[in-house]
Amino acid sequence: MSEHVSQHWDVLVPRPHLSYRVHFLNPDGRVLRVKTLEASNDSEAIQLTLGLMDGRALDLWHGLRFINSFPDPG
């Protein structure tokens, strides 16, 4: 029984959410707008940012820490 409970324990424990910022950039690299994301970790934030791709370059930040740049796909 304890093995069954331990397998599902991670589902019961709430994951902390971290605040990330996505900067939408113009062709000159200037910030056009900023969107805030909530994610559990950098990997999840990157996946969420990929879903925001709209033909412009994006930069992903967590506080003052730069995470990744997503170039203009065009």
Q: What is the pLDDT of residue 73?
A: 79
1 falls within a domain? no
Does residue 6 belong to any structural domain of this protein? Answer: no
Q: Please report whether residue 24 resides in a domain.
A: yes
Inside any domain, residue 9? no
- Residue 2 is predicted with a pLDDT of 45
In a domain, 4, yes or no: no
**pLDDT for position 66:** 98
Report if residue 2 sits inside a domain. no
Helix ranges (DSSP H) in 1-74: 2-12, 42-50
- Higher-confidence residue: 59 or 16? 59
- Report whether pLDDT(3) > 50: no
Q: What is the pLDDT of residue 10?
A: 55
What pLDDT, in 10s, does the model give residues 25-67?
999 999 999 999 999 999 999 999 999 998 999 999 999 999 9
Considering the domain boundaries, does residue 30 fall inside one?
yes
Question: For the chain, what is the domain count?
Answer: 1
Structural domain boundaries enclosing 27: 16-70
